[in-house]
A = this chain, B = another copy of it.
Amino acid sequence: MRTYEAYLKLVEDALCPQLRSLGHIPEKLLEAMEYSLSAGGKRLRPVLLLAACDMAGGNVEEALPFACALEMIHTYSLIHDDLPAMDNDDLRRGKPTNHKVYGEDVAILAGDGLLSAAMELMLRAACRMKDLRGVRAAEAIARRSGVTGMVAGQTVDVTEEGSEPTLERVEYIHSHKTADLITAPMEAGLLLAGAGEDQLKAGVDFGFHLGLAFQMVDDLLDVEGDAAVLGKNTGMDAALGKLTWVAAAGVEKTRADAAEHVRIACDALELFGENMNFLKNLAQSTLVRVQ
């Protein structure tokens, strides 16, 4: 069984080379894209994709372009989300945001470029396969990051900011803005491994519930976390009138719900037997920060 660090290293070593493998990219554009792509982070989504593929007996090397593509999509969404017209953030992971360094025009294009590059990498990889696994994996990622997925969640988040934080509204936003991009790597990784319908359904259930728990923990940390440890200001969600789980349900219920969603997520993977251990441990570890 590979460790988190082993998956992480595969991703870190491949991200920029994958982008550069597409051909000649204008210097300024490449620099702006790599600035945000190299800013670190947990790389949770690509690690999940590789681990899901591994769990079902797939080829991790073959899955690598899809893992990198997903991280590029996550990165594009952060660059656009930070723009003055959106969340207007100056800092991300302790560094100036993309538009602060490269200007708004290049930041918009760097985001567009990363999304385009992600699709191109997946399509190029899919062209090399003899069957439709690659196309189906790319379709899952496009669907979950698109207008019925992540972009849908983002839109409701920005257009309904400041409105009443009902549970229904909060669940819609986080099911799409966050959980869809945690479910995408499970679905894509399993499709690449040639998993059957039962395994796919289990992976999708795991991703959905882990995604909700993950966002609940994030919302709790904004209320209870230590700004110095997190590397960002806390209390921002409430100040901005963000539609969070804590705003909708309170701290105690959110903490209990997060634990419950992690339990449901882990139960869903039982059919993978011992092979599920890596993902089970990973899911349970998300709760540690708020216990």
Other-chain contact of A152, B26, B134, B142 (Cβ < 8 Å): B26
A156: Cβ under 8 A from any B Cβ: yes
CA distance A83 to B106 in the complex (A): 12
Other-chain contact of A116, B22, B29, B135, B142 (Cβ < 8 Å): B142
Q: Find chain B residues with CB under 8 A from A22 CB.
A: 143, 146-148
Nearest chain-B residue to A150 (Cβ)? B116
Q: Are B33 and A147 in contact (CB under 8 A)?
A: yes
Given contacts A108-B108, A135-B127, A116 and B151 within 8 Å (CB-CB):
yes
A154: Cβ under 8 A from any B Cβ: yes
Q: Are B148 and A24 in contact (CB under 8 A)?
A: yes
Classify the interface of chain A: helix, strand, loop or mixed. helix
Nearest Cβ in chain B — how far from A116, in angstroms?
Answer: 3
Q: Are A146 and B119 in contact (CB under 8 A)?
A: yes
A104: Cβ under 8 A from any B Cβ: yes
Other-chain contact of A124, B83, B86, B134, B139 (Cβ < 8 Å): B139
Q: Are B158 and A109 in contact (CB under 8 A)?
A: yes
A155: Cβ under 8 A from any B Cβ: yes
CA distance A28 to B154 in the complex (A): 12
Nearest chain-B residue to A111 (Cβ)? B112
Q: Are A147 and B108 in contact (CB under 8 A)?
A: no
Number of copies of this kind of chain in the complex: 2
Other-chain contact of A155, B86, B104, B106 (Cβ < 8 Å): B106
A25: Cβ under 8 A from any B Cβ: yes
Q: Are A29 and B155 in contact (CB under 8 A)?
A: yes
Q: Find chain B residues with CB under 8 A from A30 CB.
A: 147
A132: Cβ under 8 A from any B Cβ: yes
Nearest Cβ in chain B — how far from A73, in angstroms?
Answer: 9
Nearest Cβ in chain B — how far from A150, in angstroms?
Answer: 8
A276: Cβ under 8 A from any B Cβ: no
Q: Find chain B residues with CB under 8 A from A145 CB.
A: 116
Given contacts A106-B158, A147-B22, A119 and B119 within 8 Å (CB-CB):
yes
Q: List 19 A-B contacts (CB under 8 A).
A: A29-B152, A29-B155, A77-B112, A80-B112, A83-B108, A105-B159, A106-B158, A113-B151, A115-B115, A116-B147, A116-B151, A119-B138, A120-B139, A120-B146, A120-B147, A127-B132, A127-B136, A134-B135, A135-B135
Q: A residues touching B (Cβ–Cβ < 8 Å)?
A: 19, 22-26, 28-30, 33, 76-77, 80, 83, 85-86, 103-106, 108-109, 111-113, 115-117, 119-120, 123-124, 126-127, 132, 134-136, 138-139, 142-143, 145-148, 151-152, 154-156, 158-159
